[in-house]
Each structure stands twice: as C-alpha cells, then as structure tokens.
Amino acid sequence: MGIGGLSYWDRSFAMADLGRQSEARGLDWSYDVAADADGNPRKDFQLIYSAAKVGAGTYKLSFTGRATLAAGGAGTVQNATYDSASNTSKADLVLGSDAIGNVWLAFNDTFRTAASAKGDGLTNIHLWRPGYATDGSALFTTEFLSAMKKFKVVRGMDFLSANTNAQSNWQERTRPTFFGLTGNKGQSWELLVALANAADRDVWLNVPVKADDDYIRKLAQLVKFGSDGNLPYTSTQAKPVYPPLMAGLKVYLEYGNEIWNPGAGFLGFGWALELANANKDNITHPIAFDGAQTDQYIALRRWIAYRSASIGLAFRGVFGDAAMMATVRPILAGQVGDGNLYLSLGLQWAQAFYGHVRQTAPGNPVAHKPSDLWYGGGGAAYYDGSIDPKDATGATLDAYFASLPTPTFAITSTVDSIWMHAYGLKYVAYEGGPGPGGSALGSATGAALSPTFNNDPRMKDRMLIAQDIWDRIGGDELVYYVYSSSAPWSFTNELVQQVVSDTSSVKLQAIDAINAKAKPAVALGSMVPGAVYLKNAASQTIGSDAAGWALNGTAYLLRPSAANSSPYILVPIRTASAGSYKISLNIGASVTGSVALFVNGDSQGKINLVPDASNTAAASSKVTVTLPAGLSVLRLDTPQGSGDIFVKDVVVE
C-alpha cells in the first residue's frame, strides 16, 4: 500500500502526535513563521491541526518555552502550566464534541527561553491524541497500524515527496526531529522505517532522483544500522537513537517515481533527462559504454536502468551479497506495458553492460545478470472500466462496473510480466489498483464522484477479479495506491467523515478478501511438453520486429544481419512439474547458424540450426535445460547464420 504525505487535511489519522500532521502559520495566516532548520517557528504563530474532522476528547499539548494559548475553531485550552526549571509548558486542548473544518491553536507572546525576547517562537511542540502516551512510545495510531497490517509492503512515495524531492546530498535530507509539514522534502527516512517496524511490514523506499552516491550509501547504512538523527551508524548499536529496519523485514528500492512521466508535478523526468544528457556522450560512463548516444531519450532509458542498478549495488555493499533479493529488493520501474520501451531497453542495456567484467573505464569489476541487479520490476497496474461513469446511479454505473477492469489491464500486465520473467525477475507493480474516474481514464475529472464509485459494494468484487488476473499472469507484488489521498485513488471512505483511520472501507474489505482466498494458479504461457506455435495468439510471444512475420504468416523472422535485425523472441511456457526438458526449434527456411537460448534470464547455450532440404520445416539441435514448475520464459536471442531464420515452433520435450 502506498501512503500519503502527512498533513492536517489528509484524513489518514496516522500519527499519535497530531503535531506531526499540523502546520504552523503566522498570526495573519501567512506561511512565514521564520522557521528554523527543524521547522520550529521563530515568532508567534497559529497551529492548524485539522481541516477535516477531529474527534472529541482531551489532547495533551507540550512544548519547550512558554506562550499565551488560545483555541480557534473549536475547543478550549485548559490546565496550562509552565515549569521554569525545565522551560517546559503543558496544557490540555479539550474538544467537547467532534469538530469539522479548520481548527487551530494560537501561540501568542512566545519565549523560546527565559532569556529570549518575546515573540521568538517555540520548539519541541507536541499535541498527543486522546488515549496515547505523551512519552513518544507510540508514534502511530492503533487504527492506522491496523490498516497497514492488511498489506505486505508499505510504500512511501508520497510520504517522501518523491516527485518533488530535489535532495542530492545527505545534509539536505529531512531529519526525524523536523516539526510540521515537510513540503517538497518529504518526511524522514527514520520515520518511514519506524512505521515499517511498528506495523511489522516490509518497506518500499523511493530514492531521490538527484541523490549522490554518498547519500545512497548513508541511506543503506540507516536502514541496516539506524541513525543518531543526523548521521547513520556504520555498525550495529546496542541502543540506536533511531532503530534500523527490524530483522526479517525486507526493503524495496525504487529510483524516484515514474521518471518516465513528463507530466506536470513529476519533476524526476526533467532531472533524470538532464543527468542522462550530461553523460550520454561520455564513453567512460556506463550509459555510453558502447559509444556516444545521439538520442537523449535512449540515454534516459539507460540512465534510469543504470541508476536503479547502482542503488541496488550500493545497498549490496552495505548489506552484503547474501542479503540481496532476500532482504534488499531493488526494483526496475517503467511505463506500463513496456511503454516507450523503458523496460526492454533498460534490461537489454543492463545485460550488455553489467553482464561482462570490464577492466577499463567504464569499469565493471563483477559480472551481473539483470536478476543479480534487481529483484523485480514492471509498470503500474491501474485499471478502470470502459464506460465513463458520468453519473452515480442507474445504467451508466451498472455498465461501468460490468466493464471493470477492461481487457487492456490483462494485456499490458502480460507484456510486463513476460519481460520481467524473461530476465529472471519478479513481476512487480510499483503502484496500481482501481482508478474510478481517475488516472485510468486519463484524468481526475470525475474526482468529485469517485467516493461513490469507490464505496459501491460492487467495487469489492471487481477488485477481486482484477487481482485474479494479476495473479494468473504471473504477478508478484501489486502495490495499491493510495491509503488516503485524492478521491479517485483513495482507499478510505470519503463519503463518511471519520475521526480515526479507516479500516473497513469497501476497498479495504476487498484487500481482506484477497488475503483470505487462495492464490489462483498462473495461466500465462503454453503448457509443455509440446510444440508452441509462435503465431498462436495464446502463446503471447513478443519480438522486436512486429512486422517480421513471413512464410504467409506461419513463422517468425529473425535476421542475423545488423541491418533490420530482430534479435529476440520471448516465449512464455508452463510446466506441471520441475525437471529436465529438451528444447528445440522448428524452422521454416534453409539456414545454418545458431540462436542463443536463455531460460528465465539464465544462458543455456546455443541452439544449432539444421537445414532442411524441403525448405518447409526443419528441426534444430536439442538443448537440455532444467525448468521449474509453473511459469518460465524462453528467450531466443542473438541470431547468427547464413540467412534469415524463420522460427515456426518452439518444441519442449
């Protein structure tokens, strides 16, 4: 599940300390509070702590310094005290009933210290929700943790403001002591790790696009060893100030978020393109190892793969080889359905560069397959209906749910699944789920009606159907978007104003049902032993030359020549049981040469082509391979020979 950024309006009710979700404003409601490096106001201010609905009860306020307090919008301030010895103030904010709309506290005549001038602000501000300890022993609300525990992984993309996070060096990061809204910088890594620990769930990190190598290494150390709030530890500590990720939990690593997306608000695209352009002509850089790149967008695709891989390698250096993929899980994220070739070109470049030891610049000291670099990858997994639900009742809404999800969801997911498995990776969607009236229809123009769609009882059944499609095409992790955020994608019930984190919306009921049922068997690929006829649509074969079919459409064309070459075919197959199998080709032309065979990303040698005198069908040599039970993807790659190769069938015995 993706989680949003903390704010006083987001309806997540995530933090036990409501101050973590509050915003300091000037007494004139301006945004200028002369904040210090940790966000603490340096002048008199007002603290907005809710703009939605906040529950009745007694909230415990404390801060360092002293001030004259007044409640705004609702409630009263009671039992205010000041301890001069510790320079600490405490008070109760009492709400006699639930409050709706903007509510705030005013802090007048502030003194940070006994010796400071009046009006210089406060520090160490906390506003604890009713029923929670004031010693910080509970960071997150009980209901929010219950919601997070419905999922396997917590993704912090919005929590970390990945789309606008311009941090490049460690000194720029948000520290865990920061107070209030963090804006474009996002929350601290320590807080996200603390959430994963409290919920006992894996964590998904979105590494800032411009983060330098030192930043990434320190982030890896923070996850493994914890931090003192400023710097990460470099070894295990008996009592870390901010603990590391708990043993047994996994960390997923993504480079930025949707760096392929040039849309408004996705600043990572421009930053990554600038970095790619800075290196595309440098033949000592990995993205130009085979020559200067004239196409900046090809360079961008390589840069995304390069930086995604280097993040994983940096974590490998801190965690060690044994932790890779078991604990540390780097992700190669691209556009859905291999859109604009972000996945395929990235994978092909990674195999070409990292697949060989290179002693000269750009160096590569250890050969790595793509599956050594990444745990998995893929595009988003959003789905919608084919009917635009212009109203919330009647036949239009019936038709909308009947068409949810559209066939496009299965088609694009299948493409990404085949690409990932062809290189030995898991198929993982960085985000997805239903987007009624939202992204899956191209915009959020129907956002005002989306809560109605989201909380229609039919949504649960349609989500179960979509999850089954995902499972049957070989999907691994589908990260749903988003717990509490914009209406089209929110998993909370926005038809009802709540005062605690939602744990029972229709979408969350769907997640409960998904967790409770058995996962269906994978149905992608042709069952073998047998011959896989490549022109059969059910085989879902993908090649680089869509127009390369020949022999009256009965075979697939592979050209050994560099010009107009078609260097690969991907063939998904399924086996009932693991074991030793033999693979050969039926070809439709007289040719000599070979085709490299890969199974799930592992090289199996070459299939030697044998000419056939009749020039209508020919059988190649047989290569013995070991196949696991279930889905595998064969890759026929790097054709070599005396002429065009027309592959008709892949035969598995």
pLDDT in tens, 554-572: 666 777 765 545 567 889 9
Residue 389, preceding bond cis, omega within 30 degrees? Answer: no
Strand partners of residue 68: 108
Alpha-carbon distance 250 to 426, whole Å? 15
Q: Based on the fold, state whether residues 557 and 612 are members of the same structural domain.
A: yes
Q: What average pLDDT does the structure give for the chain?
A: 91
- pLDDT over 80 at 439, yes or no: no
Provide the pLDDT confidence category of residue 536 given band limits of 50, 70 and 90. low
- The single residue listed with the structure tokens 């009965």 is 554
- What per-residue confidence (pLDDT) applies to 610? 75
In a domain, 251, yes or no: no
Q: Based on the fold, state whether residues 450 and 572 are members of the same structural domain.
A: no
Size (the chain), residues: 653
Buried b (16+ CB within 10 A) or exposed e, 364-386: beeebbbbbbbbbbbbbbbbbbe
In a domain, 53, yes or no: yes
Q: Based on the fold, state whether residues 417 and 513 are members of the same structural domain.
A: yes
Q: What is the mean pLDDT of residues 604-633?
A: 82
- What per-residue confidence (pLDDT) applies to 545? 45
- 579 versus 556: which is more confidently predicted? 579
Decide: residue 363, CB within 10 A, 0-12 exposed, 13-18 middle, 19+ buried: exposed
In a domain, 133, yes or no: yes
- What per-residue confidence (pLDDT) applies to 444? 46
Q: Based on the fold, state whether residues 406 and 419 are members of the same structural domain.
A: yes
- pLDDT over 70 at 341, yes or no: yes
Domain count, the chain: 3
In a domain, 602, yes or no: yes
Q: Based on the fold, state whether residues 555 and 456 are members of the same structural domain.
A: no
Q: At 648, which CATH number?
A: 2.60.120.260
Least confident of 11-15, 336-340, 484-488, 489-493: 484-488
| 3-state SS class at 274 | helix
Tokens in use for 497? 């104003």
Q: Based on the fold, state whether residues 79 and 31 are members of the same structural domain.
A: yes
Name which of 284, 308, 33 is nearest 183 in CA terms: 33
- What per-residue confidence (pLDDT) applies to 567? 64
Tokens in use for 94? 């009492």
Q: Based on the fold, state whether residues 561 and 474 are members of the same structural domain.
A: no
Alpha-carbon distance 417 to 433, whole Å? 16
- pLDDT over 90 at 99, yes or no: yes
- pLDDT over 90 at 342, yes or no: yes
In a domain, 245, yes or no: no
- What per-residue confidence (pLDDT) applies to 590? 61
The two beta strands, 328-333 and 381-383, are unpaired
In a domain, 338, yes or no: no
Alpha-carbon distance 641 to 606, whole Å? 12
Provide the pLDDT confidence category of residue 436 given band limits of 50, 70 and 90. low
Alpha-carbon distance 501 to 195, whole Å? 15
Residue ranges making up the domain that contains 565:
526-652
Q: At 25, which CATH number?
A: 2.60.40
On whether the CB atoms of residues 184 and 231 are closer than 8 A, the answer is no
- 407 versus 646: which is more confidently predicted? 407
In a domain, 611, yes or no: yes
Q: Based on the fold, state whether residues 537 and 581 are members of the same structural domain.
A: yes
Alpha-carbon distance 279 to 286, whole Å? 9
Q: Based on the fold, state whether residues 387 and 520 are members of the same structural domain.
A: yes
- pLDDT over 80 at 445, yes or no: no
Alpha-carbon distance 387 to 452, whole Å? 15
The two beta strands, 99-100 and 45-50, are unpaired
Least confident of 100-104, 314-318, 449-453, 571-575: 449-453
Q: What is the DSSP letter of 2?
A: B
- What per-residue confidence (pLDDT) applies to 645? 77
Q: Based on the fold, state whether residues 564 and 513 are members of the same structural domain.
A: no
Q: Based on the fold, state whether residues 441 and 475 are members of the same structural domain.
A: yes
Q: What is the mean pLDDT of residues 52-65?
A: 97
Instruction: Express each pLDDT in 247-269 by its tens digit.
Output: 999 999 999 999 999 999 999 99
Q: Among 87, 115, 138, where does a domain finish?
A: 138
pTM to 2 decimal places: 0.94
The two beta strands, 568-575 and 53-54, are unpaired
Provide the pLDDT confidence category of residue 544 given band limits of 50, 70 and 90. very low
Structural element, H or E, at residue 555:
strand 555-558
Q: What is the mean pLDDT of residues 515-520?
A: 96
- pLDDT over 70 at 553, yes or no: no
Q: What is the DSSP letter of 521?
A: P
Q: Based on the fold, state whether residues 494 and 535 are members of the same structural domain.
A: no
Provide the pLDDT confidence category of residue 644 given band limits of 50, 70 and 90. confident
Q: Among 477, 499, 524, where does a domain finish?
A: 524
Least confident of 236-240, 273-277, 280-284, 482-486: 482-486
In a domain, 197, yes or no: no
Q: Among 495, 524, 553, where does a domain finish?
A: 524
Residue 529, preceding bond cis, omega within 30 degrees? Answer: yes
